[in-house]
Structure 1
Amino acid sequence: MIRDCLVLLCWLCTVNGKIGYFWHITDIHYDPRYSTHGNTGSMCWNTRSNIDSGRIRSDQRPPGMFGEYNCHSPWALIESAAQAMRAKHGEGIEFVLWTGDALSHTAGMSEELRIQSLKNLTDLLSHTFTGQFIFPALGHEDTGVNFTQIAHLWRHWLPNEALVTFKKTGFYTIEQRSENYHIIFLNTNLWLSTSSIIDNRVPQRNGGQVIDHSADPSGQWTWLENNLRKARIKAETVYIVGHTPPGVYEREGGASALHEKHNKRYIRLVRQYSDIIRGQFFGHWHSDTFRVIYSDTGVPVSWMMMAPSLTPSSPGGPNNPGLRLYKFETNTGQVLDYKQFYLNLPDANSAGKANWITEYSMLAHYDLKEITALSLHDLADRFTQSSDSAFVRYYAANTVSLPREVEEIWGCGGALNGACALRHYCAVTRLNPDSYRDCLSSYADALASVGSQRVSPLHYVPYLLTTWLACR
């Protein structure tokens, strides 16, 4: 009864509001060396070692026109995505979020080539959305070029006050003065963990500067807290946008990217200002997933969405290319729904034509009435209920409808069992790495309590829920 009243109240609040839309595109990973004359066994490059007497070796297949699951994005794929965004919903777009990793880390590009590649992508998006602003966030692959050079490329999108901040630090804020919300763009490269640098997932330099491992790199924490405090005083709501999210990667056994101290501080800050934060939008993991943040007493208070990548390649397993269109209430920033689009990569390569289609709409796909922290908490709980199809639906979306014969090589494969569901459930609901590990080990403890009896992990869902606070 209470929930129905809240839904009605939310609906009444938005009846008179203006409905708007924004696109979210992330992790393009453009590789200018991609070639259909290369081979899939060597990053889809056309190199001398790949060629035998002027021909591709017989044991290797030439790359497809729109990309391959083990290679980063060719220009044809990126261009098709831009055309799809314009064709599917080019009008009525308020803005576009572009959350980083525009370039490929595999290409070994010089600074000159990186700048030229960023310019090509910027020009493409500018021509696609001639009447809208595109708001970019830096990814860890967008380094090796200093902030001033990048700011020059994006100067027609960002207002002067944003450019001043961006040139110095790589972060900025956008105020929607005609509305009641503004958007905070983080430079999450400043918070990356040392292990992320060591394992070569991120370069050691950040916009031409060595990464700062102090308590407040480039003053981003102070800046973020000041912006949130001002927004609360002015009764404004906020979107937080960045490349690398807090928490762990659901596909790679709990891998995390942010340094532990920054990860914990981010969660604390979101808890503190959850009353004004209307959404958090990230990329980086390449997968389609979401996260829920809880108060100190275990109440769901905020949510974040991770959109899937445009590139089909990922260290944690491939996915089909994806694009996301959000529907929101412009007066308050309240997100109402989103529509996920995707490209069936094998079909596109076979047909020689990119047919971007709707994969699903959030509310209909998961049988939700609204997008809130509570509704997403309830959705995550449904992952662990064997009588509910929510996890099967979520897992198909997580890999962007990857063909089963490809997916079985990675991830859960054909065994969508309780252990697989538990891993995803823990990643969605436990954003501290320690809490994530506690969540997983709680199942092992439950299993040990009944000895060697063979029981599905789903049998222990009540146990997991009753030990919620202990696992956080």
Structure 2
Amino acid sequence: MALLVLLCLLGHVWNLQVSAAPVNNAFKHLQSAAKFWHISDLHLDPTYHITEDHTKVCFSSKGVPALDPGVFGDFLCDSPYQLILSAFSYMKQADLQPDQLPTSANAIYDAVAKLWSPWLNPEAVATLQKGGFYSLVIKPGLRLVSLNTNLYYSPNQVTVNMTDPAGQFQWLQETLELSRQKLEKVYVIAHVPIGYLPYAINTTAVRESYNERLVKIFRYYSDVVQGQFYGHTHRDSIMVLLDQQGKPVNSIFVTPAVTPIKSLLEPYSNNPGVRAYLYHPENYGLLDIWQFYLNLTEANLEQKSDWKLEYIMTEAFNIDDIQPHNLHELALRFEQPQSKDFDKYFNHFMVSYNFSLTCEGLCKTIQVCAVHFLDQETYSQCIAKAGI
């Protein structure tokens, strides 16, 4: 039975009529396992339409001609409605009765709180109205903590020089302390991730000062937090939070986007993706990832949304589960010269966008340092060690 559906930016699952590829018998384990789905960055572009003038296919391309627009989208455009419908339809077929729960906060907090009130208790609605964050016990002994990391996002000028925007840091510490006292485990969800971006050197997605504070909090409460789940970057990546002695204490995941959009100058994008996390039904420890994707080029050519299993994390990398110590060992393998595991990881990073693209030198250094080092001091040491 499913635990919940994590949705970043859009908050409900509709009754869909769009067809998707049938789920074969190999997926019976997925259907019976304790799991939850994570889908992020839908980025609906309601203007998307097929026209001979490729500069007018979608507003999101900002006048740049679409590359090869089809019914399911284009790599220079945000998602058409048909792509989003196909993603939800595939999840529905792969898991016939998922529980549904919206997660990410919105700037119009009152409106979102009203929209999501059927799923939230009064305390959660109150903090959602206050600052776009909330917590909720979703299973006996398991608390969901939904952070509004948009408050810490670097371009957010409203929170510049604020010590604790909306009081979320204090609330987070109090919530995690209460969970520790109650012997609860916690899943943390948010849109903008902590740590350093895996494609831009010396760059955090949230402001560096806020990142340092979040890393400190999560280290202190690593016995409580069972996993962290983010979106925003549109790419598929992992991070391993190390404590101050270098011991792996938290597994962190960034799910790839449904939207395939990239800028004209970017060398790669991502195919649309959705994923399911498998977890232990008793202690809520994370066991595995099943990542699914849509080959956008093929889907447009065939005018059919043939979603496929891209990889199963434990099988792809020969690890027992996705607990911190196993991800730590995997990350160490990434660091080796000509690492086949890293080559596979980078292809997953792009959601199988282009198998011919490689990541070496500076590209690989930025990727590897971002996996293991989430605070400024250790990240800088990693970059310096590479001679950059």
- Pair 1:73-2:79 in alignment: yes
Quick one: distance in 2 between partners of 1:428 and 1:41? 38
Which one of the candidate residues 163, 167, 184 is aligned to 2:145? 184
For the 8 Å contact 2:228–2:252, the answer to whether it is kept is: yes
Give 1:353's aligned residue.
304
Name the amino acid aligned to 2:76. Answer: N
- SS of corresponding position for 1:256: coil
Quick one: distance in 2 between partners of 1:156 and 1:31? 27
Give 1:291's aligned residue.
239
Give me the TM-score of the superposition, normalised by structure 2.
0.85
Compute the displacement of 1:366 (Å).
0.8
- Pair 1:166-2:128 in alignment: yes
Give 1:116's aligned residue.
none
Quick one: distance in 1 between partners of 2:60 and 2:149? 34
- SS of corresponding position for 2:101: strand
Give 1:31's aligned residue.
45
Give me the TM-score of the superposition, normalised by structure 1.
0.70
Give 2:365's aligned residue.
422
Quick one: distance in 1 between partners of 2:55 and 2:202? 28
User: Which structure would you say has the larger Rg?
Assistant: 1
For the 8 Å contact 1:39–1:46, the answer to whether it is kept is: no
The one-character-per-residue Cα deviations of 1:52-100 (angstroms, maximum 9, x if unpaired) are: xxxxxxx876621111111101000000001001011223x3xxxxxxx
Give 1:463's aligned residue.
none
1:329/1:38 CA distance change after superposition, 3 Å:
farther
For structure 2, the 5+ residue unaligned runs are 1-31
For the 8 Å contact 2:60–2:77, the answer to whether it is kept is: no
- SS of corresponding position for 1:24: strand
For the 8 Å contact 2:200–2:366, the answer to whether it is kept is: no
- Pair 1:444-2:377 in alignment: no
Quick one: distance in 2 between partners of 1:222 and 1:46? 37
Compute the displacement of 1:191 (Å).
1.6
Name the amino acid aligned to 1:154. Answer: W
- Pair 1:20-2:13 in alignment: no
Give 1:135's aligned residue.
102
Which one of the candidate residues 225, 229, 233 is aligned to 2:181? 233
For the 8 Å contact 1:39–1:61, the answer to whether it is kept is: no
Going by fraction, where is helix more abundant, 1 or 2?
A: 1
State the identity as a percent. Answer: 34
For the 8 Å contact 2:67–2:76, the answer to whether it is kept is: no
Compute the displacement of 1:389 (Å).
1.5
Summarize the alignment of residues 100-249 of structure 1 with structure 2, pairs less than 5 Å apart. 132-138=99-105, 142-143=106-107, 146-176=108-138, 178-193=139-154, 196-197=155-156, 204=157, 210-211=158-159, 213-249=161-197
Higher relative contact order (CA closer than 8 Å, sequence separation 6+): 2
Name the amino acid aligned to 2:367. Answer: H
For structure 1, the 5+ residue unaligned runs are 1-17, 51-58, 94-131, 198-203, 205-209, 406-412, 446-472
Quick one: distance in 2 between partners of 1:240 and 1:230? 15
Compute the displacement of 1:418 (Å).
4.6
Quick one: distance in 2 between partners of 1:72 and 1:328? 32
Give 1:63's aligned residue.
69
1:369/1:167 CA distance change after superposition, 3 Å:
same
Quick one: distance in 2 between partners of 1:41 and 1:330? 50
Quick one: distance in 2 between partners of 1:65 and 1:42? 15
1:374/1:221 CA distance change after superposition, 3 Å:
same
- SS of corresponding position for 1:444: coil
Quick one: distance in 2 between partners of 1:46 and 1:270? 36
Compute the displacement of 1:435 (Å).
3.5
